Structure 1
Amino acid sequence: MQITSKFTIAIHIITAIDYFGDTMKVTSSFLAGSVGANPVIVRNVMGNLKAAGLIETSQGKSGIRLARKLDKITFYDVYRAVECVDDRGLFHFHENPSIRCPVGRNIHRALDGKLRKVQDAMEAELRRITVADVESDIRKEVAAGH
């Protein structure tokens, strides 16, 4: 299992919109260059962010803007926007464990609660971290000459 790069691309996009938004018009082409990804991928992620109410886009003078302040956008918000975790959860179970095997017959019952606890813990941590935390660290790195 691995969370796709759409999550980090989305964090990058949101951070760049805020970082550059006061000094220049932020466009999808600019963001694709900053991310270092295909513009189609960036536009797809932006579509997810827009649908989740995290960014606003316009063809006019303003370009792309945040719909909320950075300290009100959690990692969990971004994760839900781009990862599309469904009701089955983060962990997907193999489909045909053997009912003739004592392990296969009981693996679901033995693992389900534990995997739910892992997902709940991860999601609780995602709710604690905001994109403002990321931008703050970026500004510190820039100030340090990096």
Structure 2
Amino acid sequence: TNSQKEVMFLGEVEEILEAINMGEFQKIMVPLFWRIGCCINSFHFQVAERALFFWNNDQIVNLIAHNRHVILPIIFPTLENNAQNHWNQVVLNLTLNVRKLFTEMDDVLFLACHAHFREEQANLTLEEEKRKEAWEHLENAASSQPIARNTVVLVTP
């Protein structure tokens, strides 16, 4: 990706959001916040920082607050991943500030999103363990077969 173009895109989006009415915002908010979430998770700190600066704009925060039941479930996994994994301290602090802002907006919704996120993470871990077990089973089955001529053998390191 071209990070400078992403930063410019986010600047243009912010200008549009400052002038948009609620009805128009509601038409675009779902795909917009999926894209903003991608920008927040960017490894390029300027992109992530610029996306998180949206929450410093009172007009945008007002739009988000009125539609938090739709926006927070979209953006929550992004915020959690950033809070746990982002390398840049400024981005990490901004992420924690946005999380705090959502907590202050609607603590019940925030906790529900947090519980859902934990459940999804547990499911992903379980799926990964099942996948690993299946591969181990296949490797064991392949290694127990007699080696015949021109047979491909799976060798584990």
TM-score surpassing 0.5? no
Give the structure with the higher percent helix. 2
TM-score by length of 2: 0.24
Give the structure with the higher percent strand. 1
TM-score by length of 1: 0.26
- RCO greater where, 1 or 2, for CA within 8 Å and sep 6 or more? 1
